[in-house]
Structure 1
Amino acid sequence: MRAIAEDRSKLIKAEAKRLGFLSCGISKAEFLEQEAPRLEKWLAKNMQGEMHYMENHFDKRLDPRLLVDGAKSVISLLLNYYPEDKQIENTYKISKYAYGKDYHHVIKSKLKELQEFIAQEIGEVNGRAFVDSAPVLDKAWAAKSGLGWIGKNSNLLTQQVGSFYFIAELIVDLELQYDTPVTDHCGTCTACIDACPTQAITDPYIVDGSKCISYFTIELKNEIPAEFQGKFDDWMFGCDICQDVCPWNRFSVPHNEPLFDPHPELPSMTKKDWEEITEDVFKKVFRKSAVKRTKFSGLKRNIDFLK
């Protein structure tokens, strides 16, 4: 049985690589004991802000067997999004993950292919694909699967390629060979904590979501609190500061997924271009982009706050 699980795992990992995933790790589908008290404490301190969806499905977030009947394995996958063409200096910035097409659609289609491959090569398998859109603690599963460690900025980090990648999962009722976690390599470094302009990283490994620039510019639907004026370092959608300063990201390499390439106009847009952006230009530059989530009115609000 162990040999079968090992062969199946190798097969799945080889196909994941062929589909363009950076890496693939597998862990046993079970209750996340260590994460339970952490999540409970985080919610009790209201670090979720207005992200009320974080309060829902507490048990499902911690136990994948409540999401997929008979779940035995969590297959975690990483997909690189680090761009070759970046925005010019001294302009209003968007997080690198949102440069190209919405990652949900790009990754979902790859996961569907992987599911079809498993059904074809191994047999009918009951499973579900997840891309940051359901109650799954993706970073915890990726760390458990040996794909990296959760750093002091609460992102998954790897020694090989840093942290500019998406995390996705397939939860399946298939017995596989399980990987083991890697060790933490943050050491005494506090670069991310020191660099955060809103002091959202309250302690090593703890991020107050309600103070994060990404939260203010994407999740928050009301007005941005005046006390944070002048602290956004020109970020108008998301924020990459804690990743940009991380020493491990000097090993980031550009992705090779054409769908993640930015609209040709985006990298060279100046502050003036952004301040004068029309809804038509917004729709053209961010067609099928994750930036559409904040809507034109939300992006305008963010830009006005930065002026």
Structure 2
Amino acid sequence: MSTAQKIFSEKIKAKALELGFLDCGISRAEQLDEERSRLERWLHEGMHGEMGYMARHVDMRLDPRLIVEGAQSVISVLLNYFPGTQQQEDDAPVLSKYAYGKDYHFVLKDKLNALMNFIQEELAPCNGRPFVDSAPVLDKAWAAKAGLGWVGKHTNLISVEHGSFFFIGELIVDLELEPDTRQVRDHCGTCTRCIDACPTQAIVAPRVVDARRCISYQTIELKGELDETLKGQFKDRVFGCDICQDVCPWNLKSEAHQEPDFEPHPQLLSLTRQDWQEMERPMFNELFRKSAVKRTKFEGLKRNLRFIEQAADSKESHSSEE
């Protein structure tokens, strides 16, 4: 590896931190051989549910050179989203922390584009693309390969320094850079807190999540009616779920993000259960105008609210009968 490639890598990492990323790592663009059998087995068992896109372009998911012509390096970045303040009402429907502010796809992609411009204008001419859940790229595998953490039993990437409340993005470029050789060993040990805490038992084995049972999948990805067999198990989660991360000891070191775009709408965190249930479309549009919650649309959010409210009503009915 040349001195220039080493210097370029160091400058890219420094610029990433300047742009507000938690961490940055670099890996050589090559095929992810170890991921193939795991991915194919997960798909074969149908654990991706209705996410048909997961079964498409499997070869591209495993080899970035099939996505970006001439790709030589994968630059992985982490962006903190852990909030400084959280929902105030104990009995209000619970929103995943990542959805409090502006949709991360836009925030992360803007920062990645800025990093790409820096590389092209300050370091060397090159071609490449930013990726934020926008193409068949195995984010967590690349971040782990770049030494940014390890994949925990809940299948999220965990950083020794930062926990797991962060987004992952990549730049895949045709520029040869010095790759990181440090690999973070698995620090989960015998801990099974995430597996034990999952209310729908979606973590069917260490590092294997059956998406069909996952609250995040049910409340965001699923387009039809929610699974009736899971009623009463959502713990009031209305969009996404953080339970497996909330109980992880590594997240005791999570610190509040400093990203203005991730700050919630002033009214959001004070909504009561009644406010959520009575929410009409204008309020939805106001609260979630630039939020990832728009993915589920107003009708989807109301569907989720009905599901958890019906479960609560059923529980109260059984209690009164007893």
Q: TM-score higher than 0.5 here?
A: yes
Structure 1 position 123, deviation (Å): 2.2
| Aligned residue number for residue 16 of structure 1 | 16
| Partner in structure 1 of residue 285 of structure 2 | 283
Could you tell which deviates more after superposition, 82-91 or 273-282? 82-91
Percent of matched pairs sharing the same residue? 61
Which amino acid is the alignment partner of residue 201 of structure 2? Answer: Q
Once the two structures are TM-superposed, the CA of residue 82 in structure 1 deviates from its matched residue by 0.2
Give 1:226's aligned residue. 228
Equivalent residues in 2 for 1:31-180, closer than 5 Å: 31-88=31-88, 89-180=90-181
**Residue deviations 1:19-55, cap 9 Å, x none?**
0000000001000000000000000000000001101
Q: Deviations over 1:128-161 (max 9, x none)?
A: 1000111000000000000000000000001211
User: 2:256 matched to which residue of 1?
Assistant: 254
Deviation per residue, 1:245-266 (Å, 9 max, x gap): 0000000000000000000001
Q: Highest CA radius of gyration, 1 or 2?
A: 2
* Deviation of the 1:79 alpha carbon: 0.2
Equivalents in 2 of 1:76, 1:2: separation in Å? 21
The amino acid of 1:56's aligned partner reads R
Q: Take 2:123 and 2:254, find their aligned partners in 1: how far apart are those partners? A: 34
Aligned to 2:74, the other structure's residue is in SS state: strand
Amino acid at match of 2:161: Q
Shift in Å, 1:2: 2.2
Shift of the alpha carbon at 1:225? 1.6
Between the aligned partners of 1:134 and 1:242, the Cα distance in structure 2 is: 26
Shift of 1:124: 1.5
C-alpha separation in 2, matches of 1:64 and 1:167: 16
Aligned equivalents of 1:99 and 1:62: distance in 2? 32
Residue 14 (structure 1) shift: 0.6
1:222-250: CA deviation from partner (whole Å, max 9, x where unpaired): 11121111000000000000000000000
- Give aligned pairs, total: 307
TM-score, normalised to structure 2's length? Answer: 0.94
Equivalent residue of 1:34, what SS? helix
TM-score (norm 1): 0.99
1:203 maps to what in 2?
A: 205
**Shift of residue 210 of structure 1?**
1.2
Gaps of 5+ in 1: none
Residues 151-200 of structure 1: per-residue CA shift (max 9 Å, x gap): 00000001211100000000011111111321010000000000001100
Give the corresponding residue for 1:265. 267
- Flag structure 2 segments of 5+ consecutive residues without an equivalent: 310-322
User: Equivalents in 1 of 2:166, 2:68: separation in Å?
Assistant: 25
**Cα distance in 1, alignment partners of residues 212 and 308 from structure 2:** 18
Report the RMSD for the aligned CA atoms in angstroms.
Answer: 0.7
Alignment-mate amino acid for residue 274 of structure 2: K
In structure 2, how many angstroms separate the alpha carbons of the residues matched to 1:208 and 1:48? 7
SS of alignment partner, residue 24 of structure 2: strand
Q: Which deviates further from its counterpart, 178-187 or 62-71?
A: 178-187
Aligned match for 2:186, one of 184, 187, 190: 184
Amino acid at match of 1:224: L
Q: Quick one: distance in 2 between partners of 1:237 and 1:116?
A: 34
Partner residue, 1:303: 305
| Structure 1 runs, 4 residues or longer, greater than 6 Å off | none
SS in structure 2 at match of 1:293 = helix
